């Protein structure tokens, strides 16, 4: 009798675990999202398994004519948004036979194999195989068998772009923001993950690593952009690997004497489209601290800054080496 009762109690728990285990609503335990919560000190735990590189070649396993538009859209959003960070995704051609040549993207619409990564961060380097395709990342473009709401024309682009930004975040080592100890996510489908890790980073409701919107589990209505928190966390993890490079202003902005500087005498205004060479010095909240390396900018901003260093909000720039 006793044994039977415990089995009855376990059954719903098993069902819950099966439901919650995958990255985005699938039904299998073989999921990227079953990884343990991250070590306490890896960039204050919003990362797990930071790579020892900052450039990531990716390729498509299938060359179907009907997905060209969505493949181009994924490439566009990834280049645009991760261009605000020190990491670089490149390639986006067809995969070769060499499994180690690039991170392989498998496009598959399946109720069980939801969009996911083979593993998080550098652990992803061991790919998985499904239907003869050896993949590192799974994306879905048609949503007929999984997350059907995304097949509606008004949601499809949101789903595709948000999920791509999310899975590429896992590839870099990011964990789920809705598991943050201060998470306000109260959707029952995510309940087991709430409070999953503690971090010095504030809870970021707008993160691409957060499935929640206003407390509910969704990605159909999520943003197509990296949040300020996503960008600064990625700088914190990969900025040192970036070192020196170039920045181009994509939104009118200023070089600031401190992250909080609002007075005109402490802000050096830059024109949209202008670019300059810099060295990365560190991440402070949502700003990064840089050393200016180009004489004209140093001269133009000298009276407003301190020792040719400046704070900038990286979401307003595109970066390259
Ligand atoms: Zn995920």
State the total domains in the chain: 2
Cβ distance 212 to 218 under 8 Å? yes
CA distance 157 to 163: 10
41 and 109 housed in the same domain: yes
Residue at 271 is within a domain: yes
pLDDT band at 321 (very low <50, low <70, confident <90, very high): very high
Task: Lowest mean pLDDT of 213-217, 237-241, 283-287, name the range.
Answer: 213-217
185 and 271 co-located in one domain = no
For strands 103-107 and 137-139, give the pairing: parallel
In-domain check, residue 52: yes
- Residue 17 pLDDT > 70, yes or no? no
User: Residue 208 — very low, low, confident or very high, per pLDDT cuts 50/70/90?
Assistant: very high
What is the predicted pLDDT for the residue at 194? 57
Last residue of a domain, one of 197, 230, 263: 230
The residue length of the chain stands at: 321
Question: How do strand 103-107 and strand 88-94 relate by DSSP bridges?
Answer: unpaired
CATH number of the structural domain spanning residue 81: 3.40.390.10
Cα(177) to ligand 1 centroid in Å equals 9
pLDDT band at 188 (very low <50, low <70, confident <90, very high): low
| Same domain as 219, residue 254 | no
| Pairwise pLDDT comparison (203 vs 189), residue with the higher score | 203
176 and 202 share one domain: yes
Q: What is the pLDDT of residues 58-85, one digit of tens each?
A: 999 999 999 999 999 999 999 999 999 9
Does residue 168 sit in the same domain as residue 47?
Answer: yes
Do 223 and 261 fall within a single domain? no
| Residue-range definition of the domain harbouring residue 123 | 37-230
For residue 98, the CA-to-ligand 1 centroid distance in Å is 26
**Confidence at 193, pLDDT banded by 50, 70, 90:** low
pLDDT at position 207 is: 93
What spacing in Å lies between the alpha carbon of 260 and ligand 1's midpoint? 33
Model pLDDT, residue 46: 81
**Ligand 1 center to 176 CA (angstroms):** 6
Inside any domain, residue 12: no
Structure-model confidence comparison of residues 37 and 314, the more confident one:
314
Q: Are both 165 and 126 inside the same structural domain? A: yes
Determine the distance separating the centroid of ligand 1 and the alpha carbon of 226, expressed in angstroms: 15
The CATH number linked to 262 is 2.30.30
| C-alpha dist (Å) from residue 41 to 47, 48, 98, 200, 237 | 9, 9, 35, 10, 12
Q: Give the residue-averaged pLDDT of 256-276.
A: 95
Question: Is the residue at 99 inside a domain?
Answer: yes
For 100, the token pair is 């180690």
CA 49-132-90 angle, 5° bins: 45
Cα 101 to ligand 1 centre (Å):
24
Please state which of the ranges 26-40, 231-245, 267-281 shows the lowest mean pLDDT: 26-40
Are 216 and 250 part of one and the same domain? no
Which tokens hold the place of 239? 């900025």
Position 167 in a domain? yes
Distance CA 161, CA 139 (A): 10
The pLDDT value given to residue 18: 31
Over residues 171-184, the pLDDT tens digits come to 999 988 888 778 88
Cα(35) to ligand 1 centroid in Å equals 10
Domain assignment of residue 209, yes or no:
yes
For the record, the structure tokens of 248 come out as 């181009």
Residues 225 and 247 in one domain: no
**What's the token pair of residue 8?**
């009855």
Confidence of residue 57 (pLDDT cuts 50, 70, 90): very high
Can you give the pLDDT at residue 44? 59
Q: How high is the pLDDT of residue 252? A: 85
Query: By C-alpha distance, which of 177, 201, 202, 199 is closest to 190?
Result: 177
116 CA distance to ligand 1 middle (Å): 6
Question: Are the beta carbons of 205 and 212 closer than 8 angstroms?
Answer: yes
Residue 27 pLDDT exceeds 50 = no
Q: Has residue 214 got a pLDDT over 60?
A: yes
Buried b (16+ CB within 10 A) or exposed e, 203-239: bbbebbbbbbbeeebbbbebebbbbbbbbbbbbbbbb
Return the structure tokens found at 157: 């682009």
pLDDT at 5 over 60: no
Q: Would you say residue 21 lies in a domain?
A: no
**What's the CA-to-centroid distance between 171 and ligand 1, angstroms?**
10
How far is ligand 1, taken at its centre, from the CA of residue 192, in Å?
14
Q: Is the pLDDT of residue 216 over 90?
A: no
Q: How far is the CA of 167 from the centre of ligand 1 (A)?
A: 6
Distance 21 CA to ligand 1 centre (A): 10
Domain end point (choices 164, 195, 230) = 230
Do 217 and 162 share a domain, yes or no?
yes
pLDDT digits (tens, 9 = 90+) for 109-147: 999 999 999 999 998 989 999 999 999 999 999 999 999
By C-alpha distance, which of 138, 136, 128 is closest to 74? 138
| Same domain as 136, residue 88 | yes
How far is the centre of ligand 1, averaged over its atoms, from the C-alpha of 179 (Å)?
A: 11
Q: Using N-to-C axis directions, what is the helix angle for 153-172 and 68-82, rounded to 10°? A: 50
Last residue of a domain, one of 201, 230, 259: 230
Same domain, 219 and 252: no
What percent of the chain is predicted at pLDDT more than 90?
67
Tell me if 224 is assigned to some domain: yes
């Amino acid at each position: 009798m006793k044994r039977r009762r415990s089995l009855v109690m376990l059954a719903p728990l098993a069902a819950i675990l099966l439901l919650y285990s995958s990255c985005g609503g699938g039904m299998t335990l073989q999921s990227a999202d079953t990884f343990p919560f991250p070590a306490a000190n890896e960039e204050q735990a919003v990362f797990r398994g930071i790579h020892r590189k900052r450039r990531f070649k990716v390729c498509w396993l299938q060359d179907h004519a009907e997905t060209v538009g969505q493949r181009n859209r994924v490439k566009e959003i990834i280049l645009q948004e991760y261009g605000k960070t020190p990491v670089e995704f490149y390639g986006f051609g067809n995969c070769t036979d060499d499994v180690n040549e690039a991170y392989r993207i498998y496009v598959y619409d399946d109720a069980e194999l939801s969009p996911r990564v083979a593993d998080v961060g550098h652990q992803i380097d061991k790919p998985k195989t499904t239907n003869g395709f050896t993949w590192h990342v799974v994306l879905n473009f048609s949503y007929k068998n999984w997350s059907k709401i995304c097949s509606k024309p008004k949601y499809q682009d949101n789903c595709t772009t948000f999920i791509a930004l999310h899975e590429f975040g896992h590839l870099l080592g990011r964990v789920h923001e809705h598991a943050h100890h201060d998470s306000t996510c109260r959707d029952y489908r995510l309940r087991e993950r709430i409070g999953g890790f503690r971090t010095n980073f504030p809870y970021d409701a707008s993160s691409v690593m957060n499935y929640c919107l206003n407390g509910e589990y969704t990605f159909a209505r999520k943003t197509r952009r990296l949040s300020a928190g996503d960008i600064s966390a990625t700088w914190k993890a990969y900025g040192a690997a970036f070192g020196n490079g170039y920045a181009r202003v994509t939104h009118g902005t200023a070089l600031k004497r401190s992250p909080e500087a609002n007075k005109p005498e402490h802000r050096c205004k830059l024109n949209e489209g202008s670019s300059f060479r810099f060295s990365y010095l560190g991440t402070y909240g949502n700003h990064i601290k840089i050393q200016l390396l180009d004489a004209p900018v140093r001269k133009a901003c000298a009276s407003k800054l301190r020792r040719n260093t400046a704070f900038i909000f990286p979401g307003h720039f595109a970066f390259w080496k």
